[in-house]
Amino acid sequence: MSTSTWKSELVRLLGPRGYLDRSEDLRLYEYDGGVDKARPDIVVFPRDTQQVSAIVQIARRHGVPIVGRGAGTGLSGGAIPHHGGIMVGFSRMNRILSIDPANERAIVQPGVVNLDISAAADPYGYFFAPDPSSQRACTIGGNVAENAGGPHTLAYGVTTNHVLGLEVVLPDGSIIDTGALWPDSPGYDLTGLLTGSEGTMALVTKVTVRILRKPETVKTFLAIYDSVDDCALTVSEITARAITPAAVEMLDGCLMQMVEEAVHAGYPTDAAGVLLIELEGMREAVEEQAEQVRQACLHCRAREFRTARNETERQLLWKGRKNAFGAVGRVSPFYYVHDGVVPRTQIAPTLRRIGEISREVDLTIGNIFHAGDGNMHPLILFDARRPGDLEKAQKAGFDILEYCIYAGGSITGEHGIGMEKIHLMDKQFSPESLDMMRRIRELFDPSRLFNPGKLLPAGRGCAEIRQPPLIPGNPVY
């Protein structure tokens, strides 16, 4: 069946303003926040679940790969159409359907921007806890697909801890709900299975999320260090005192200089590292914990411990943290953001290993990460116009993640596997574990048309044969 046949079916379904297929338009959808590129044959913009189902049925009839896309802020190539085909953009399914403070939940479409959920819940005294650094742009559908985290993961958990139920379209076009109207759904936990599945088993069309009451008191601190090791050791010292802050973020001296030059957040440019620490809860408890945190920082040789005196200072400190990636863009024409996890006690050795890797590849690597749960985000600066630089950056990323595994951690904490880390899955998991994952995926999508080439390395035998071929004229860059 020719490409024009299934394209014409999509055009009839969606109308002249419901798709893009000109080369100059498709270029905008060939990348995300990572380094991989590939171009779809068409981008379609459904307005409701029934249209998504119809699109999937067309793709299934013609054996065309299909990839979902939210805001394109992902960092592992999850929304890159590795095998061309149909890209489903959810930007027009962007309504908040209900805010239900009495039952502490909200129902939203996948194209709703993360921060807009908290904005809608704010008049009722509630908020949505998962807060990726891209929360002003990223959408809840992508957050569900990648199981996104954020600075406040330490206290609140990642996206899956706040998703109560999903409406999804399966690879055969059928529509199912996974629960959400009761606190503990009977049967298998399909919500948990599909959250973080990176679009390989279903397309999310509606999400029921948990909203939380805003805390009575919030206190934010900046601890400043002359040693990265002391900075890292403080994290374990805080948890040893039975304190779980809402957030513990770390920036090293390299990143701090870039952030301060761009944002003027008040970070010291002569320090080796800082911890951005936030406490939330009842006023009395926060005041008591604040003193314990101060003592922990000074015990680990912090040279200074600052408290944000008002909301303006607090927001400025967080502005520095959440705009860090943009600040790096002012210094380097390209940068490669990675995402690995190590136990808290291994943060200091991991930072030392990252420093060694930086010297080995002769590229600058800055570090900014969720120190409270050991979720590392090294930023590898390079110039893709310089021959060999991209390859060096990719090697550095591979070596860092390999060390994370060695240290007892993981190759991802929130960015997902996508295309970027697929070659590391067999280092993280045994062949038996990977085979079980493939079998589960094939129960949902035996033809492997949903987001092919992502999450799981190609298997053996028939699973490999069913992998769709690259579409001629649509190279992977």
Q: What pLDDT digit, counting tens, does each position of 399-447 carry? A: 999 999 999 999 999 999 999 999 999 999 999 999 999 999 999 999 9
pTM above 0.75, yes or no: yes
Distance (Å, rounded) from C-alpha 48 to C-alpha 72?
20
Element (H, E) at 356: helix 347-361
Q: What is the DSSP string of 74-104?
A: -SSSTT--TT-SEEEE-TT---EEEEEGGGT
**Which top CATH class is 217-325?**
alpha beta
pLDDT at 183: 66
pLDDT at 468: 34
Distance (Å, rounded) from C-alpha 358 to C-alpha 356?
5
Q: Which CATH code, of 3.30.565.10, 3.30.43.10, 3.40.50.1000, 3.40.228.10, is assigned to 3-89?
A: 3.30.43.10
The pairs formed by 284-287 with CB atoms below 8 angstroms and a separation of 24 or more are: 286/217, 286/218, 286/219, 287/217, 287/219
96-213, what's its fold? 3.30.465
Domain borders along the chain are 3-89, 96-213, 217-325, 332-406, 429-465
pLDDT < 70: residue spans in the chain: 1-2, 180-183, 459-477
pLDDT at 472: 32
pLDDT at 477: 25
What CATH number labels 332-406? 3.30.1360.20
Alpha helices in 244-310 (DSSP H): 253-263, 283-299
Tokens of 408: 């007892």
Distance (Å, rounded) from C-alpha 265 to C-alpha 274?
13
Nearest to 169 by CA among 35, 337, 49: 49
pLDDT at 459: 60
pLDDT at 475: 30
Residue 324, exposed/middle/buried by CB under 10 A (0-12, 13-18, 19+)? buried
